[in-house]
Amino acid sequence: MEYLDSLTDNQREVLESFQNLSGEDDLEKTIKLLQRFNWDLESAYQYYFGGELDNDDSTSSSRNNLINNNRNNNNRQNNHGNNQVSHPIGRLFELIFSPVRIAISILKYIFDMFPNSFKKLIEGSDQHRSARMTCAEKFIQYFEENYGEKHPTFYRGTYKQALLDIKDNYQILVVIVNSPEHDDTPEFCRNVISSDVFIDYLKERNFVVWAGSVNEIEGYKVNNVFGVTTYPFIGLVAHQRKRPIISEKIEGLQPVEDIIQKIDQKYEQLSVQLQSELAEQREREQSRIIRQEQESAYEESLRKDRERERKEKLERERKQREEELARQRQMEYERKVEEKRKYKQRLAESLPPEPNEDECETAQLSIRFPDGSRVIRSFRADDKLQIVYDFVESKDLGPLDILSEIILVNTFPRKEYTEKDQTLESLGLCPSSSLIVEEKDDEESEE
């Protein structure tokens, strides 16, 4: 009782449900199993039903004793035979037949050396197929061999798999535990399981039907879960709040109408609850979908906001780069303008004076500036054209930009004067000539 005193109400409820389903009476063992799985009823029950717990169970051993009764009888007969062998005549027979036993052992050794495929041809594969079949599949094979193929659609998997399926699909499980040796089994199989009304009813109500023999290990365990004492047996299992509950037990041979009536009465109760749980599940699923859609919409909104912020950031950075570049260009322009002003000032200070009137070889140039004004100045005939350019550069050449390059031209006929290292005389500008200051275009600058 000290175990029960330390349990919470929820743990006691789980303990009671587990004992009802499993038929396990050992309270201490059950509590330890549930504690091992942190009081998760489904996990503990699956583990228990998987057969890993009750290797040393009294129920399992009792079943093995039932199954091995014939083996015990054979062992007693063998022991009796062994007692006879101890007689001298027995030893004589043993000595005579020992070569036969040796020959049989040799043949068996040779046979074991053959490939499995060859041995299957000799032994047949029925035994191997049977070993791979589930308890339910063996029952279906047994039923069809003895009573025909007219029966409900039986579930072919394990009982544990059937429990999981009805949980996921909100269905009710009909469990049939068969005892082939029972006197009422043939009549039950012919008049109930094979009856049209029973088959149609189970199909109409969408039951999952699992059947197994008590002679099989799994069937025997299911038998113990339901606490079956009388055959034939039909049980109903449904999940309530995700926990498997035995809802109905029908024992003994009964008319098929009475069986259907009992199942239907319980079905009406269970279906209301299952539909309610299904509606709750659908509502939860709908809420989940709505929540997922809201989260998706929120994520999409966040994505768009992040994308907009990213573009705005890129645009700001672009503008900042452009503004910085413009600022640098302006600074560079102002620096060049200042340098050009200083350059013009140095040119004005370094220009040679005009020649005297008594100098015979001169070139009187009439220079028209971009603003339309005209300046007349005399240069020496042997002055190079560079001096004329320096003179022009030392002046204000507005409206041209201060950094613009200029070129001196004669308009009629048009001739450009660019050979700055040539003298005015060699260029034909003596004794007088008219020049125009123009802005040098980009193509001429590149040349």
Report residue 116's pLDDT band, with 50, 70 and 90 as the boundaries: low
Q: CB atoms < 10 A from the CB of 231, how many?
A: 20
CATH class of 362-446: alpha beta
Identify the pLDDT of residue 297. 93
Q: Could you give the CA distance from residue 413 to residue 434 in angstroms, rounded to a whole number? A: 11
Q: CB atoms < 10 A from the CB of 166, how many?
A: 22
Q: Tell me the one-letter amino acid at 330.
A: Q
Q: Which two tokens stand for residue 190?
A: 């012919």
The count of residues in the chain is: 447
Domain residue extents for the chain: 2-126, 133-285, 362-446
Residue (of 171, 37, 293) closest to 15 by Cα position: 37
Q: Is the dihedral of CA 25, 31, 37, 39 positive or negative?
A: positive
CATH 3.40.30.10 for domain 133-285, yes or no, is yes
End-to-end CA distance of the chain: 111
Per-residue pLDDT tens digits for 168-227:
888 999 999 999 999 999 999 999 999 999 999 999 999 999 999 999 999 999 999 899
Q: Could you give the CA distance from residue 176 to residue 178 in angstroms, rounded to a whole number? A: 6
Greatest alpha-carbon span in the chain: 173
Q: What percent of the chain has pLDDT over 90?
A: 57
Q: Could you give the CA distance from residue 376 to residue 435 in angstroms, rounded to a whole number? A: 10
- Give pTM, 2 decimals: 0.46
Q: Which two tokens stand for residue 429?
A: 């500008």
Q: Could you give the CA distance from residue 57 to residue 360 in angstroms, rounded to a whole number? A: 142
Per-residue pLDDT tens digits for 349-387:
999 999 988 877 899 999 999 999 999 999 999 999 999
For residue 375, the cross-strand partners are: 367
SS3 165: helix
- Pairing mode of beta strands 362-368, 374-380: antiparallel
